[in-house]
Amino acid sequence: MRRPKVGRMVLATCVGSFFILIFYFQSNLKPAANQDSGRTSWRGKSRRSPLQALYDSEQLELSAVHMMHQGRRELLEEECRTHTRKRRVLIPEDLKHLIVDDQHGLLYCYVPKVACTNWKRVLMVLTGDGRYRDPLQIPANEAHVAGNLRSLSEFSTAEINHRLRTYLKFVFVREPFERLVSAYRNKFTRSYNTAFHKRYGTKIVRRHRADPRAEALDRGDDVSFKEFVHYLVDPQTQREEPFNEHWERVHALCHPCLIHYDVVGKYETLEQDSRYVLQLAGAEAEVRFPTSGKSTRTTGDMAAQFFHNISPFYQRKLYNLYRMDFLLFNYSIPAYLRFR
Ligand SMILES: *[C@@H]1O[C@H](CO)[C@@H](O)[C@H](O)[C@H]1NC(C)=O
């Protein structure tokens, strides 16, 4: 008796996603925000929505920052055209990482290890109705509590379509291997991350270490970067379940070839790009993006060290795995790799 029910659910999902696709792509024929003539009525205030601010570019046209973002958007679109064949249907599941700010008309796709804690904090300030003022007053763990922010996947199809069409959609990305090393360091080299050690570490030791000690098998707390790489490129890993979001590709988390992001922010220019988004949202007076004083952050040099004892064979395999993130966001093959 379970089968037909599941069938109906799948059908319902398909029909639902069909509508998302139809309405959303229709809107892309006329991407400019002027299709919503609500220039003077955005949220009852006499100002433009962030999307209108972006595409009504009279004042912004000459700004170098504005031109740079246009360049990134065009490059992304071009790479999507070149490297993706058929457009897949967008389903609500794809929208889980999109955080909604109805007050300002923003959709933010969060990518772990790319300043996502700070962006979540900022969005909590922006959507909190005055509950928070300073992003840094919000504890990091609080920023990740589900329910503090709303995901686009929780809305109805009509509400999703409306938001995809009229809100400013943005994402922050980072050099893929720097992000990966950052995830490894954070999840596998810190003694407090026991949940990751148990969940992933023990499996990695069991599968990718010759003659593991019983203690290592039990604790999974001493995974080497090489073992982590072997785990990532092992086809069995992704057959079992999707990658954890900390090392999943941006391409798979945020679907940049299906969702047309208006702003592609980069970790490398985090402060400037964050200011740009808050400026478009008209929220500069409400909140400042926290500047990070972190001295432990992963850099390109650090990534080079971690890759030093990865063989060219595995370097290439890993590059192929993350290739779309390199291509879509204009990151070149790191000079320290040896398969070039
Ligand atoms: C892509 O990257 C190159 C090299 O860093 C840079 O010169 C170019 O401006 C970038 N293009 C875009 C569209 O961002």
Sequence-distant (≥ 6) Cβ neighbours of residue 82 within 8 angstroms:
none
SS3 186: helix
pLDDT in tens, 286-339: 999 998 766 677 888 899 999 999 999 999 999 999 999 999 999 999 999 998
Sequence-distant (≥ 6) Cβ neighbours of residue 172 within 8 angstroms:
111, 114, 115, 116, 119, 264, 265, 266, 267, 270, 273
The residues pairing with 266 across neighbouring beta strands, listed in sequence order, are 173
Specify the residue for token string 């395999």: 317
**Band (24; pLDDT cuts 50, 70, 90):** low
**Contact by Cβ (8 Å): 261, 281:** no
Mean pLDDT for the stretch of residues 50-77: 84
Mean pLDDT for the stretch of residues 248-257: 97
> From residue 220, how far is each of 105, 150, 214, 230 by CA, in Å?
43, 34, 10, 15
Q: What is the pLDDT of residue 298?
A: 80
Residue ranges of the domains in the chain? 2-173+255-280, 177-246+297-328
Q: What is the pLDDT of residue 57?
A: 62
Phi, psi of 261, rounded to the nearest 5 degrees: -70, 135
Residue with CA nearest ligand 1 atom 10: 330
pLDDT in tens, 175-206: 999 999 999 999 999 988 999 999 999 999 99
**Range scoring the smallest mean pLDDT among 16-25, 47-56, 90-99, 113-122:** 16-25
For ligand 1, whether the C-beta of 69 sits within 6 Å is no
Q: What is the pLDDT of residue 48?
A: 81
Mean pLDDT for the stretch of residues 137-145: 90
Mean pLDDT for the stretch of residues 1-29: 50
**Band (70; pLDDT cuts 50, 70, 90):** very high
Residues in the chain: 340
SS3 266: strand
Q: Give the distance (Å) from ligand 1 centre to CA of residue 71.
A: 8
pLDDT above 80 for 145: yes
For ligand 1, whether the C-beta of 330 sits within 6 Å is yes
Residue with CA nearest ligand 1 atom 8: 330
Q: Which tops the pLDDT comparison, 300 or 169?
A: 169
Q: What is the pLDDT of residue 291?
A: 84
Q: What is the pLDDT of residue 2?
A: 45
For ligand 1, whether the C-beta of 153 sits within 6 Å is no
Q: What is the pLDDT of residue 30?
A: 41
For ligand 1, whether the C-beta of 72 sits within 6 Å is yes
